Amino acid sequence: MVIATVKGDVHDIGKNIVDVVMNCNGFGMKDLGVMVPPERIVDTAMESGARFVGLSGLITPSLGEMCAVARLMEERGLTIPLFVGGAAASELHTAVKIAPCYSGPVVYTRDAASLPGEARRFGNPATRPEAESRLRERQRELRERHSAPELMSAEEAYGRRHIFDKSLMAPAPTTVGEITAEVGVGELAAYINWRGFFTAWGLDASLASIASVEGCDHCRAQWLAATPEKQRLKAAEAMQLFKEATLVGAVSSNIGAQIFLKLVLAVYISLDSHSVVPSLSNKTTCFPVYPPCQKFSKKQIFSIMLEIFGRNPPICAVFCFRKGEIYL
């Protein structure tokens, strides 16, 4: 088998793995390296009497080079299987772009582990006809699906639109402006993302899975035993920290500890189809105007919050969209 990373591409990690895997499975390999032009690949395959050609590529331009190799193999009258793979390749692209360039089988391989089995199927005269027939049928289906997607009419699409249940809409706030909410520690405990805490404690965030373990100490001991041995010491530390944190939370909840949140509720009222402005109870704050359907990035949302709340924004802001109104 002749393998190469195509012209213009210098990535060869995957190709090198293929070389090792195929050698271990009894296939003779000839690795041409990287940045290999089509002529050299095809000439080598013909001179050595190769039974297969394998192409690898990581970057998108490599796909065009694979097509060039396939066309040259067709011009030279080859019929041996052509295997393509790498990060840039896909089953769909192989069927739509590469396979039509070559009358022989063009096989997309997802990883090195699957290549020996594919090579045996296409290299054995007894199994090749069936394997090639299935391959061509699959690629034909992919091409048809890609070139002629079944589109429904506008009327049918409109008829299948989602109908929102208006009874589930969030009610408008009864009070606008600045309010203070008192929330019990016990109510918030279920919403804690422990991954952030474990990261802050200098532990791997994956150890936060201890928070999902319910039951007795025996259950937690089983969780500890299931962690990788090299991580077990840190896992034991994580388990103890979580135990102490939940104990503090339980004590705080029992004594009725409250968390005070300062919220600002503003109702955005549509003036026309292009803009919305907020309305606050004190009527003193000026806000920028934004299109009602505009999508904001996280950075833009933060900038808007700074404009609205100044340099001391609330701890948490929740956006609820309701027919031209935004509740913050």
9 carries an active-site annotation: yes
Does residue 81 contact residue 52 with C-beta atoms inside 8 Å? Answer: yes
Distance between first and last Cα of the chain:
64
The two tokens of residue 70 are: 């396939």
Positive or negative: CA dihedral 42, 16, 57, 27: positive
218 carries an active-site annotation: no
Output DSSP code: residue 276. Answer: E
Indicate the pairing of strand 2-5 with strand 30-31.
Answer: parallel
* CB neighbour list of residue 27: distance below 8 Å, 6 or more residues apart: 1, 116, 119
* CB neighbour list of residue 4: distance below 8 Å, 6 or more residues apart: 15, 31, 32, 33, 34, 36, 40, 41, 54, 55, 56
Does residue 21 contact residue 112 with C-beta atoms inside 8 Å? Answer: yes
Q: Which of 12, 19, 56, 62 is catalytic?
A: 62
Burial 293-306 (b: 16+ CB within 10 A, else e): eeeeeeeeeeebee
Residue with tokens 């025996």: 218
**How far is Cα 9 from Cα 38, in angstroms, rounded to an integer?**
13
Got the DSSP string for 153-181? PHHHHHHTSPPP-GGGSPPPPS--EEEEE
Q: Which of 11, 114, 204, 252 is catalytic?
A: 11
Rounded to whole angstroms, what are the CA distances from 196 to 14, 71, 221?
Answer: 35, 54, 23
**How far is Cα 56 from Cα 111, in angstroms, rounded to an integer?**
11
Catalytic residues, by residue number, are 9, 11, 62
